[in-house]
């Protein structure tokens, strides 16, 4: 008899922020925030320009130090850990701007992403080959250099490069920015499929509310330094007052 299949989305908290206060100078951007994300969930992080979405992602990944509070991954307090240690523990961030190494080929960029976590060359090659099955457009462009790619292909490469190291949690900042709707839909579909298949946990900051909610289990809306809504994605999408007040449509 085969072993029972684990459900991909669990109710166990994988990532949490507790009492998080973050600011640069002056008033805090985010104040005393609590947020828990179960393993395998896809959470859309929404809010107007300047609401603090990027700041929150950068704090989770360790690029910004909070004034107070902590970031916890699988029960381990990450607050004092470096960015590198957080990556080793399974966090990956794809920052806004889809940066890839312009002088390297698609394949070399992917190997670079794998270098961190997968020590053997053979294993790295296998991880990249596996990724091409999901990212078919990248497989076709594997010999192209970063600077030869379209905006959509670069975003796809930035996403694939983060995933090749098999993170547990992906922090994704505005992947849709500046891309055509068709390309955004393709990216979102890849993300949804990957999360479902692998149990990857995703925190997706997006201005493109409709696209983000179309693949998310849950939506978290930031406004005035705090969480103003945290609900199933369908409920957020169906709430005109919330959309109008905080999401601009």
Residues near ligand ATP (CB under 6 A) are 24, 29, 47, 49-55, 207
In angstroms, give the least distance from the CB of 50 to ligand ATP.
Answer: 4
**Nearer to ligand ATP among residue 135 and residue 246 (C-beta):** 246
Cβ-based burial of 107 (10 A; exposed 0-12, middle 13-18, buried ≥19): middle
In angstroms, give the least distance from the CB of 152 to ligand ATP.
Answer: 20
In angstroms, give the least distance from the CB of 128 to ligand ATP.
Answer: 31
**Nearer to ligand ATP among residue 26 and residue 240 (C-beta):** 26
Residue ranges of E strands in 63-114: 68-73, 76-77, 91-94
In angstroms, give the least distance from the CB of 49 to ligand ATP.
Answer: 4
In angstroms, give the least distance from the CB of 54 to ligand ATP.
Answer: 3
**Nearer to ligand ATP among residue 215 and residue 222 (C-beta):** 222
Beta bridge partners of 68: 21
**Nearer to ligand ATP among residue 11 and residue 49 (C-beta):** 49
In angstroms, give the least distance from the CB of 59 to ligand ATP.
Answer: 9
**Nearer to ligand ATP among residue 131 and residue 202 (C-beta):** 202
Residue with tokens 């690029």: 63
**Nearer to ligand ATP among residue 128 and residue 220 (C-beta):** 220
Tell whether the torsion through CA atoms of 140, 146, 150 and 156 is positive or negative.
positive
């Amino acid at each position: 008899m085969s072993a029972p299949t684990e459900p991909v989305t669990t109710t166990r908290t994988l990532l949490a922020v507790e009492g998080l206060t973050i600011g640069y100078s002056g008033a805090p951007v985010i104040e005393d925030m609590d947020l828990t994300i179960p393993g395998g969930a896809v959470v859309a992080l929404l809010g107007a320009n300047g609401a603090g979405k990027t700041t929150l992602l950068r704090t989770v990944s360790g690029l910004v130090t909070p004034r107070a509070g902590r970031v916890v991954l699988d029960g381990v307090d990450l607050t004092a850990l470096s960015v590198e240690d957080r990556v080793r523990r399974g966090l990956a961030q794809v920052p806004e701007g889809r940066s890839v190494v312009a002088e390297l080929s698609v394949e070399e960029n992917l190997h670079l992403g794998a270098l961190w976590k997968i020590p053997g060359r053979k294993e790295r090659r296998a991880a990249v080959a596996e990724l091409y099955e999901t990212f078919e457009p990248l497989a076709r462009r594997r010999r192209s250099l970063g600077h030869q790619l379209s905006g959509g292909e670069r975003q796809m490469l930035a996403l694939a490069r983060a995933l090749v190291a098999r993170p547990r949690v992906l922090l994704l900042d505005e992947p849709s920015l500046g891309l055509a709707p068709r390309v955004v839909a393709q990216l979102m579909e890849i993300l949804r499929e990957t999360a479902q298949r692998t149990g990857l946990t995703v925190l997706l900051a997006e201005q493109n509310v409709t696209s983000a909610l179309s693949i998310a289990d849950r939506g978290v809306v930031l406004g005035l330094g705090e969480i103003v809504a945290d609900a199933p994605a369908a409920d957020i999408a169906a709430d005109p007052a919330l959309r109008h007040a905080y999401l601009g449509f």
